[in-house]
Structure 1
């Protein structure tokens, strides 16, 4: 879930980055568009200024050409350029003034150009009036003074400067337009690359999220399957515990009831024997029959000692059974202390405790430890292992050297397997489960015991969250296996949960 949340945050960051890039690109594109539009407007305006200025200069030249042709030939047909230029002049002058007024860098040129045009047209019109009045020589003399040429040169300079400046501004605007276009291309490429990167990263994150969701789904299915398995296991454990409770109740009622029945029976015999003794002891001088004397002597010599002996044996039996029950009960209530338990030293200690007995049979003890040291309750493992090696010696096959092997191996990731193998008497297949029941023993009963050792080991293992199992064949030996959780702390956490 944490991984999924991190990926979600990563997606949000990428989407935010993509949004910022889009905003930046939109802002930059808008600014470039406005700049490009403004530059284009300036180009159009400067081109129009250049065109009007050129047309005005061309019209002045037409007027001057018509004037000179008329004065040289005295032919009115040469006035056609003059008339055409004069007809265009008002419109061109107004158009140029309007354009120059809106262009502050050369707005001051409008008045100067207007003044020069008025002066030049005034001289031309004056010469034409003289010529039309018949003073052609006077008109020509006025032209020869050079006043008109000087004014025309000034007009060419002013209009040429306007045209030159317009050309410069057009060139600058075109360069600016190219720069803006280049920036637009750069921004477009950067934006495309950035968006592709963001989209690619977002797609990658999305695919990871999909894989994480798929993994989470698989993990959920696995957990559900594990939960079902654990529920089934818990149900099985409860059924097994219930069966054990029932067996335990039966054992307690049966095994404790037997000594009680004996005690009750021999108590009745004590009462019967007591009557014979009372008849003899409490006769108070009365004559006692030989039968009463014989019964009293028999009661004192045999019946009473026998009854008392059986009663004492029964009470000892009951005391042993009760102590065994209390021992298992105390193990269940004892607080477990998880710690790292070094297996090899613990196994070597258990083996050393029976080494001399094994050597007396001519046998040997082998140890093989490949498992990591578990975190468990040391006392429980010591007691369980000690009980198993004691049983191996206790139930060794007569006349056969005892071979005892103790191995510790990993069992999956969560368990440790401790095996105690012997070549002793072995156990019948039908008794494999029975040997773990309280007060139950199997095979030849030639060894002392109450039948609580293996029941005690099973209790210890189950308190640790483990188990004990056995495989055995009569006459070939037995292998008892302690299945120990690798970390008791996790077991205790699950139990608390």
Structure 2
């Protein structure tokens, strides 16, 4: 009788533990699903903000009302999404200050977009040439991306915690099952029927656990695939946006050089003609007019080169960087050196971000490094069994010191490298100073030609 009572109590205890474990698993599953849904909605929030950015920029550039459609659709969905997302983020344990900061950044970006659109409606094409709106908008969008990424990482930590707790529950269930088997062996002679019944219950519990785990794995795989597709779309959009910016820079540089430069040249020719007609008389105003014409020609060339160095399109990366570093040395007294090996292996789409990264790195050297020498070197370099090209910017300044890893300049260089499919490193150089390194994979033969054809069509 004592053995039967012990077996009965063991069975009751094990069954209760199994039920508690199943309830706990269901609760953990609900919490995990909620965290994954929050991650997806955060990604959707960022996508809507990008749509706001796209619609705003399209309208600023073209001034046509249809380009506002992504902006208006995103605003309509954004209000509903924020209304449901913010309380759930607060309930998930997110600190109220983070949510307050997120709402503040969203309102700031929407306010900027609305203000720029209103200015475009009233101010016309002149607003499109005002770069301050783009700079302010990019800064707020960068802060928003960082904030959303922090919130998504917090939800990922929730998922990891739930997975760990689920594993603990499974181990506890296994332990209870083994305990029941031990008690069944002791009472085998007196409780064969009870042991058989318990065996059936244990099998059912294991099947339920396997089904639950299979369902969870399937959901995670589906949502991971969806997030990967969304990330791929975002990267594709960012690459296309960067390519459009470079195309617009090229067009503006050509317009500035052709239009303003031609006007300056015409003024200079007219002043020379007037001087010849007035000879031997002299007119001081003609000297001043000729100086103004020369200044306008120089300004047109400088603005055109700043927007898009013509050598980058005509002679490639090595020639463009050589001209840029020579000009930098003349203007600042900085001793510059360029050593590029096989730079012609790079396509135009790869040369563009590398040139911009070097520009930003040189700007940081002038602002912070207190250096007197600057070296830019590049060579083909295979990484992770992939053919690629490595470019380094080295100075002999005071080193990175307390430079923040999320500083806007470093973040911009890192984003350009990522859009090119490469990697970006920043740190101290051997022997002192700072080292900026970027590596990009080499494109397959023919891809750059196809891209050039596409750009030619759009131009």
Q: Normalization by structure 2: what TM-score?
A: 0.39
Q: Normalization by structure 1: what TM-score?
A: 0.36
Of structures 1 and 2, the larger Rg is shown by: 1
